[in-house]
Amino acid sequence: MQILDGRKTSNDLKEEIALEVLSIKKAGNKTPHLAAIIVGNDGASQTYVASKVKACKRVGFQSTLVELPENITEKKLLQEIDILNNNNAIDGFIVQLPLPKHINEQKVLMLVNPDKDVDGFHPTNVGRMVLDLPCFLPATPFGILELLERYNIKTSGKNVVVLGRSHIVGRPMSILMSQKRNAGNATVTVCHSRTKNLKEFTLSADIIIAAIGIPEFLKANMVKEGVVVIDVGITRVDDATKKKGYRLAGDVDYVHVSKKAAFITPVPGGVGPMTIAMLLKNTLLAFQRKN
Ligand code: GUN
């Protein structure tokens, strides 16, 4: 079994991006600039956004964090997005999800200028992705493709099972893996909460991408020997033995599944760091497309 080391791969990527930033600066240009909007005080979201800001510093990007209160009105949030859309100094920005219940997420994401939509959530970017046109790929699927490519994992003609159909991970992942591309050309099955006989699908899978948000859902008796497992789950599970009172659990029963797997991503240290690196990559792309 080989671990797909997202931490190392994302560090490699960040070094590559940092070198690009150096040459951009040397040429006398301004540096790429990413902004993030966060609404409310959700602990996990705060941690993710702080990691994104830290990663910007590491590669030499400028970053701006827009922190807004939980009770902000939808109208005010839309105004904040308009400000970032019209700020020429900002190359790309994200609105951290989830948003409070009183805010219409769709309306918010629709307002983001597609040219600055480095999360790839705007319908224009989703449509362009489906049609194989230049776009911003959503960072988590983009990171998984990059990980598969950098570890030379063959996907052409393989049976891929995607667990989950979310707009952020499962849906785009299933589309990308079926397309004509490196880390593509696969036969893809999307399984979800209404799938019957799930185990029949997972047992025949060469590659499983688990993105359902149920801790340790995928068990060893659900996978075949030599499977490649990508674990997107990252749920906080109460654990009194930890200083913080919780531990992070993936969607995969790692201890047992790893014994049968050829390749597997750990949690933490697998897909998570890749997501951040690809957000930086998208920001660099936004900068390059603009200039
Ligand atoms: N919440 C969970 N994942 C993501 C992501 O990739 N982008 C944003 N904006 N919010 C998220």
Q: How far apart are the C-alpha atoms of 291 and 285, rounded to whole Å?
A: 10
- The catalytically annotated residue of 5, 14, 52, 116 is 52
Alpha carbon of 121 to ligand 1 centroid (Å):
9
Alpha helix stretches (DSSP H) within the chain: 6-26, 43-59, 74-86, 105-111, 123-130, 139-150, 170-178, 198-203, 254-257, 271-290
Domains and CATH numbers, the chain: 28-113 (3.40.50.10860), 139-272 (3.40.50.720)
pLDDT for 17 equals 98
Mean pLDDT over 188-194 rounds to 98
Q: pLDDT for 234-256, tens place per residue?
A: 999 999 999 999 999 999 999 99
Looking at ligand 1, which residue's alpha carbon is closest to its atom 2? 97
- The catalytically annotated residue of 91, 96, 116, 253 is 96
107 is catalytic: no
Looking at ligand 1, which residue's alpha carbon is closest to its atom 8? 96
| Residue 169: strand, helix, or coil | coil
pLDDT for 233 equals 98
Q: Are 20 and 284 in contact (CB under 8 A)?
A: yes
Cβ 36 under 6 angstroms from ligand 1: no
Q: How far apart are the C-alpha atoms of 34 and 14, rounded to whole Å?
A: 15
Q: pLDDT for 172-184, tens place per residue?
A: 999 999 999 999 9
Q: Ligand 1 test: best mutation among 81, 94, 117, 280, most atoms within 8 Å of CB?
A: 94
Looking at ligand 1, which residue's alpha carbon is closest to its atom 11? 97
Banded pLDDT at 80 (limits 50, 70, 90): very high
Banded pLDDT at 106 (limits 50, 70, 90): very high
46 is catalytic: no
54 is catalytic: no
Banded pLDDT at 96 (limits 50, 70, 90): very high
Banded pLDDT at 5 (limits 50, 70, 90): very high
